[in-house]
Amino acid sequence: MNIREALIDEHSKQQAVRIAAYIGNDSKRFAELINIVQEEEYRLVQRAAWVIRHCFDEHPELIEPHLDALVKQLRRPNQDAFRRNVLAILADIKIPKQYIEELADLCFDLLASRKEPIAIRAHSMEVCYQVCTHEPELGNELKLLIEEFMPHESAGFKSKGKKIIARLAKLNL
């Protein structure tokens, strides 16, 4: 299977799952996918990001060697699908210390921006919580930010916000 051609041929969950199954736990194939996601073509990046998330679900060990490239790319504009998928992954892993400062800066900004899609903001909230476990002094800032937005947000945002605030309280933050 040619990963690039498969991404171009079809955009569906079935196709994403097929490509992820083809990649399996093969680090070379996964690296090829990471190279594709760093390109400029929006649709290709969008589709590749979805496959990355499926790969992560089955083989989370493949992500760590590529965290640097993925974290750097989070700042690229107009990459909502990429951000949504990568932030979901970051929300599910123990974030290495070398990325804490950069992710704190980015995710607090994303969380505070009402222009961002709700899924990106919700995943950013989770990443911000993880940042607070490393940098406890940011816990109060996260709590205040969540409380500021909760009255004006969706039920999903409110639910996630309440859970994060409760978890912060358990950490005495």
Q: Domain for residue 19, yes or no?
A: no
Q: Domain for residue 119, yes or no?
A: yes
Give residue 159's domain range: 94-173
Q: Domain for residue 33, yes or no?
A: no
Q: Domain for residue 65, yes or no?
A: no
Helices (H), the chain: 3-9, 13-23, 27-37, 42-58, 67-73, 80-92, 100-112, 118-134, 139-149, 155-170
| pTM of the predicted model as reported, rounded to 2 decimal places | 0.92
Q: Domain for residue 87, yes or no?
A: no
Per-residue exposure over 134-164, b if at least 16 CB sit within 10 Å of its own CB, e if not? beeebbeebbebbeebeeebeeebeebbeeb
Q: What is the pLDDT of residues 31-40, one digit of tens each?
A: 999 999 999 8
The share of the chain scoring above pLDDT 90, in percent, equals: 90
Give how many domains the chain has, as a whole number: 1
Q: What is the pLDDT of residues 54-77, one digit of tens each?
A: 999 999 999 999 999 999 999 888
pLDDT score of 118 more than 70: yes
Would you state the pLDDT for residue 78? 78
Q: Domain for residue 89, yes or no?
A: no
Q: Domain for residue 157, yes or no?
A: yes
Q: Domain for residue 88, yes or no?
A: no
